[in-house]
Structure 1
Amino acid sequence: MIEFQGVEKVFSGRGGGPEVRALDGIDLSIGRGEIFGIIGRSGAGKSTLIRVVNMLERPTAGSVSVDGVDMAALDGAGLRDARRAIGMIFQHFNLLSSRTVYDNVALPLELAGLRKSEIKAKVEPLLELVGLGDKRDRYPAELSGGQKQRVGIARALSSEPKVLLCDEATSALDPETTTSILRLLADINAKLGLTIVLITHEMAVIKEICHRVAVMESGTIIERGDVFDVFTAPRHATTRSFVSSVVGAELPETLSERLVAEPVAGGNAVLRITFKGAMANTPIISQLTRRFGLDLNILHGRIDHIQDAPFGVLVVEAVGAADAVQSAISFINANNLSVEVLGHVPANLRAAG
C-alpha cells in the first residue's frame, strides 16, 4: 500500500550551519489494511517520515508511492486529489474553535464543494462511529482531550481515505484516554479496512494495536518486524531499551545494584527465563526443581499478551550446585525457551520487586 524506496530528506542548516539529514536511505513497505507503528526517540526522523507520505515534506531523494501512485511526481490538482485518500490526525487536534463538532468534521467536505445533503450523509455516520453523535453541536472548548481527538479522527475520515496517518496522536492524552483512542483506531481498522501508520515514542502504544513496527534512530530504520517478534526478541540495543519496561524485562533497581558479573563465593546465579507463544504454558519452574534439585527464588516477573499470544519474563535466583544450574540452563534451551544468566548475587538475597 505504501512503499518507500531510498528515501532521503536533508534540511538546510540554520544560519548557514551544517545540513541535517533527517532521513537516510529509507526502504520500507507497509501492507494494505495493516496498522504499522513507527517508533523512535525525539529527532529520530519518524515525523519527517510520515510527512513525506502526503508530501507535506518532499523527499530530497528516493520515492514514495501510495496505492501505486508516485506521490513525488504529483503537483497541484493531482496532489490535492491524492491527499484526499490520505487522512491525518495530530497530537494537538488542530480543531477550529469557532466551529461546532459537526462543522469541524464537515470542513474538508465543504472545501471539496459537496452539497449540504451530501455532507450530512457523511458526517452524521462518522460522529456515531467515533462516539460523538450526542456532541455534534458542542464547541471544542466544551470537549475533553479524548473527545477532541475523536473529532480529529472523524474529520480525517470524512474524505473516505485509504490511509490514516497518526502523528503522536495520543501523546497529549492521559493513559485511560489513550487506551480508548487506540481501541477506536483498531475498530476503525477492522470495520473500514483502513491502512493506519502510527508514529509514537511509546512502545506501549505499539504493543496495544500495531501489527508490525519499525524502530528508527538517526534517520534510519534499525529494526523492523512483527510486533510479537520485535517485543520478544529485540536485536538492537535501542529496541531493547524501548521494550524492556513494557514487557517486564527491566530489572528493579534494588536487584540490579546487587548483581555482579562473576560468581560469588557461596552465592547463586540469577537467570532470566523468557516464555513466549505456546511454550508460555510450560511448567518449567516445577520441572527444574524436580529434575535438578534446585530451589528457585522468584525475584521479578511479568506475564502479558502481545497480539493475543502469551509472553512472560521471569527472573529467578537458582539455589543449588553449579553443575545442576548448568544442566537446568541446557534443559530450558532444549525446551525452546530463552534463558540468560544475568549475573550472580550473595546467597542471602531475598525477593526484590
Structure 2
Amino acid sequence: MAIFYQHIGRQLWARDAPRSIGADGELRRFMMIGLEKYLPEIANAEISNLKMLENEVAPTGFQIWGLPSGAQTVVSRMTNGDFLMLLESEKFAYVGQVLHKLSVPSWTLSNHIWNEQSFPIIVFLQGQLINYDWSEFKDNFGISPNYNLRGRTASLSLARITDSKFGDEERFIADIMAKYSVSFQGVEADFRLFDEVATGHFRTVKERTGQSKFRSDVLSKQGAKCAVCDFCVPEGLDAAHVAPKSALGSNDPRNGLVLCALHHRLFDRGLFYFDPETFDVVVNGVWSLTDLGIVHNSIKRLRHIVHESALSWNAEQYRNAGGFVF
C-alpha cells in the first residue's frame, strides 16, 4: 500500500474538481452505467471488472481523477488499494483509495469529463473531501518546509512513513480522514466509521481490488470463456483460484482458471478437478460430465498458462474422494 500525492493548483482545482471529485463538502459520484460508452479504448474484460468493483466495493459510486501523461513514470507503480491525495494549493482537498487505474490511457473519458484530452491516466477512487494543510503534511513526514511540489506528482517513501508518528500508511490515512474530513454525504455508506474501523475497511478494499486485478489478468491470458463450457458473458465469468485464497493461494494468474459462476461453485466444492499430468477433467462421485454441464473434457489448451503445481495441489485435495476420468 503506497501513498501518492499531486499538486493541482487553486485555479485548476476550482475548474476540474467539481466535475469528477466534488465540491462544497459533497462528493461527486459516478456509476458505470453512465461511463461505459466513454471507454472505447478499454477491453470488455476490464469494464466487467470495474462493474464488479462497483457492486462489491463502491455501491454508492466512486470519484474519478485524471493525470497527465507526464505523471506516467511515477504512477506506473500505483496499484489497487493505494491512496491518492490531491493538493489544491496550500491544503490537501481530497484523499481517496485507488479502486482501479485504467490499463491504457483513455482520451475519450478525459474529454468527456474535463472537456480536454490532457488527463488520460484515469484513476477510479473512493474517498473524502478533506482540509489538511500542506505544511502539516511536510512536518509529519520530515519534508523540508521549502519543498515545493509545483504541479508534480510524487509518492511517500516507506522510510518517511515508518519513521513518522503514524508508523504505517493505514494509520495515517485513517487519522486524516477522521480529523480533516469535510465530506458529509454518504461517508458512512462508503467507509463506515473511519475513526474506528477504517484500517479494516482499507484492507478489505485492498483484498477485493487485488481479486479484481487477478480476474483481469486471468481473463486476459485465457480469454473470456469458461474453461469447461462455452459460457462467455463477462458478467457471469469468474477467475477461480486453483489453490484457493483460504489456503493462502496466490494471485499469480497461473493459479487461476476462467470459469462461469456455476462451474466455479462446482469446482470449489470438489465435484470436478483436473489431472495435473494430462489436464483432463476428473469428475467426483456419481455425476457425469452431462450432469455437471461440462462440454470440454480437457484444458490441454491451457497447459502453458495454468501451472501444473496448482493443479497438483487441487487434485490432491479431491482425488481420494473417488473420481473417474471422461
Bin for the TM-score computed over the shorter chain = under 0.3
Query: Normalising to structure 1: TM-score of the pair?
Result: 0.25
**Quick check: which one's strand share is greater?**
1
- State TM-score, norm by structure 2: 0.27
- Mark the structure with the bigger radius of gyration: 1
